[in-house]
Amino acid sequence: EPEVTQTPSHQVTQMGQEVILRCVPISNHLYFYWYRQILGQKVEFLVSFYNNEISEKSEIFDDQFSVERPDGSNFTLKIRSTKLEDSAMYFCASRIGGTGFTEAFFGQGTRLTVV
């Protein structure tokens, strides 16, 4: 069964460093998303991506963040100059798209720890 895969499963980085979280969406999906879940808190939407551009973003997704689909298979989230409060579980999701409803499939997440 096709699935969304995320690497690494756990990333530890020093405050101020840049990190890139990687996701491989399901191959025929067209919409891609990043969410984050700070420990003990709700899952929050960060950004959605379609047709090689951001289609929607939340107020959390400021200039510190960027997304890219560099090679047609990977979907990456870059966090520049990480802060302690960026520590969270980051989930990637993808959806096939279309005019009707289609389900978003989530990866297992990358746990980012900023020290």
Partner 1 sequence: AQSVTQLDSQVPVFEEAPVELRCNYSSSVSVYLFWYVQYPNQGLQLLLKYLSGSTLVKGINGFEAEFNKSQTSFHLRKPSVHISDTAEYFCAVSDRRTGRRALTFGSGTRLQVQP
Secondary structure element (H or E) that encloses residue 68, with its range: strand 65-68
Specify which residues 105 forms β-bridges with: 94
Query: How do strand 31-37 and strand 88-95 relate by DSSP bridges?
Result: antiparallel
Secondary structure element (H or E) that encloses residue 20, with its range: strand 19-24
Going by C-alpha positions, the residue among 34, 37, 38 that lies closest to residue 79 is 34
**List 60, 69, 106, 113, residue binding partner 1 (CB under 8 A):** 106
Query: Which of these segments, 11-19, 47-55, 71-79, 80-88, binds partner 1 (CB under 8 A)?
Result: 47-55
28 part of the interface to partner 1, by CB under 8 A: no
- Quick one: 14 or 39, whose CB is closer to partner 1? 39
Q: Which residues bind partner 1 (CB under 8 A)?
A: 4, 31, 33, 35, 41-45, 48, 50, 55-56, 58, 91, 93, 95, 99, 101, 103-104, 106-109
